[in-house]
Structure 1
Amino acid sequence: MGSTVLSLRVDSELLDRLKGHAAKRGMSVQDYVVRTLVRDDFDERFHAAVDETERFYGKAV
């Protein structure tokens, strides 16, 4: 998997919060944001898979 550059413009307050969250985890802001996006993407795909399974098999009670 390759990588591509994505530029974001964020206000200083949000950047300060991101820096704080990243620092608590010993990460760079870039790594923190990427990890957050990957986690959110996984959550979204997981919920979609659960929904599809429930449609196929019916909801468990």
Structure 2
Amino acid sequence: MGTQVLSVRVDGELLERIRQHAAKRGMSVQDYVVRTLIREDFDERFQSSLDKSEKLGFQ
């Protein structure tokens, strides 16, 4: 799978907070943002699966 570029405009204060969070984890800002997006996507898909299971009567 190839990579593509996504450009996002954020204000300076938000970018600084992102930099701080990334630095705490020893990550680049790019890696931190990508991993956060992947985690959010997984969480949404997982929750959706749980919801569907509950509707089917599995608990």
Whether these two folds match at TM > 0.5 is yes
- Structure 1, unmatched stretches of 5+, are none
CA distance in structure 2 between the partners assigned to 1:35 and 1:15 by the alignment: 16
CA distance in structure 1 between the partners assigned to 2:7 and 2:40 by the alignment: 19
TM-score between both structures, scaled by the size of structure 1: 0.90
Alignment RMSD, CA only? 1.0
Aligned residues: 59
Correspondence for 1:42 = 42
Correspondence for 1:26 = 26
Q: Deviations over 1:13-50 (max 9, x none)?
A: 00000000000000000000000000000000000000
The ranges of structure 1 where at least 4 consecutive aligned residues each deviate by more than 2 angstroms after the TM superposition are: none
Identical counterparts, % of pairs: 64
